[in-house]
Amino acid sequence: MSNSKDFLLIVEDEEAIGEGLQFNFEAEGFEVALVPDGKEAIYFIKEHYDKISTIILDIMLPQVDGYEILKKTRILAERIPILVLSAKSLENDRVKAFELGADDYVTKPFSLSEIILRVKRLVQRRKWYKPNGKESIQKFGQSLFDSERLTITSAEGITYRISPTEGLLIQVFIENENKILTRTDLLQKVWQYEATIETRTVDVFVGKLRKYIEKNAAKPAHIISVRGVGYSYVTKNNEKN
């Protein structure tokens, strides 16, 4: 594999969709591998995870489904951005993918221009955690966030590995402490979407962060919901929940 181009892995068993994506992303300057089944995808990721810039992943695949690929990929490489592209359109499907480590989710049928834009955004965001002179370990709620290792360590000493998207969301909250951030603000700052679309994505990721840092995720003390607007991150709050 060449290091001069961003490398995209497409895991898609529908030949027309896979080849169409491959053709268009190569035209955009990507180096692309197309894998048609889940078993081969896991093997490919194990062999090349250090070279892959982003993955486009279908859920319904031969041999091994996309959910299992998400699990195994996050064990190997939590920093690879993964965009799920699936005909499964129920909210539960989307939530499950996010819980397993997906960074973005698009349903079929899809807009090619939108997919290209989202993948480019993921590639850009992938570099956010590189050394930038900031302290790598920061307090987040009562937990410690390590931006270099992409981990959160709770007050009880439990360490969780997180994805780059979760890490970037944390960084945005820390940098905007005590400010009200709308869901649209967060989509723009973290996912870099200009349109007010898929705000449920924000809610799912906030729910994940609360599980990491709140004593009681159902009654959060640090990531506070602002009804009808969005969220506010506060450090000083009543934690008798």
| Structural domains of the chain sorted by starting position, each given as residue range(s) with its CATH number in brackets | 7-125 (3.40.50.2300), 137-233 (1.10.10.10)
pLDDT digits (tens, 9 = 90+) for 26-63: 999 999 999 999 999 999 999 999 899 999 999 999 99
Tell whether pTM > 0.85.
no
Please report the pLDDT score of residue 197 as a whole number. Answer: 55
Backbone dihedral angles phi then psi of residue 141, each to the nearest 5 degrees: 65, -130
**209 CB contacts (<8 Å, ≥6 apart)?**
166, 169, 170, 173, 223
Is residue 128 pLDDT above 70, yes or no?
A: no
The pLDDT-based confidence of 130 (bands split at 50, 70, 90) is: low
Please report the pLDDT score of residue 239 as a whole number. Answer: 53
